[in-house]
């Protein structure tokens, strides 16, 4: 979808922040008369950017062992640096 939008001057699409390479992000509003808000770390965090979704980890049981280590790493400072590096917004 991102490739199609990137090659179409009138293209528009919706996708995750990490996939927004080569396309223009546009400001959106909760109402027709604004305010229009760009997707930034601050606007995602404060809720003023209206198009967001949470990503969840689901496990069959309470995480332990390697699964817990992975979840702990993802939520760690180093894990969140990688989240940001690939283009997603970090957990606060």
User: CB count, 10 Å around CB of 36?
Assistant: 11
Mean confidence (pLDDT) of the chain = 90
- Write down the domain spans for the chain: 1-53, 54-92
**What are the Cα distances from residue 15, in Å, to 34, 59, 60, 67, 78?**
22, 25, 28, 28, 25
pLDDT tens, 5-38? 889 999 988 888 888 788 888 899 999 999 999 9
Q: How confident is the model at residue 69 (pLDDT cuts 50, 70, 90)?
A: very high
Question: What is the mean predicted confidence (pLDDT) over 39-45?
Answer: 90
Does the structure show a pLDDT above 80 at 92? no
pLDDT at 10: 92
Does the structure show a pLDDT above 90 at 77? yes
User: CB count, 10 Å around CB of 67?
Assistant: 14
SS3 per-residue string spanning 35-65:
CCECCCHHHHHHCCCCCCCCCCCCCCCCCCH
Question: Token pair for residue 25?
Answer: 């992000």
Higher pLDDT among residues 75 and 23, named by residue: 75
Question: What is the mean predicted confidence (pLDDT) over 79-88?
Answer: 92
């Amino acid at each position: 979808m991102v490739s199609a939008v990137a090659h179409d001057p009138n293209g528009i699409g919706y996708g995750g922040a990490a996939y927004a390479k080569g396309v223009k992000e546009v400001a959106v509003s909760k109402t027709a008369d604004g305010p229009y808000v760009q997707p930034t770390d601050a606007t995602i965090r404060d809720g003023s950017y209206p198009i967001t979704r949470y990503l969840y980890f689901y496990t069959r049981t309470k995480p332990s062992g390697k699964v817990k280590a992975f979840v702990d790493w993802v939520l760690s400072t180093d894990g969140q640096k990688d989240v940001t590096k690939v283009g997603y917004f970090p957990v606060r």
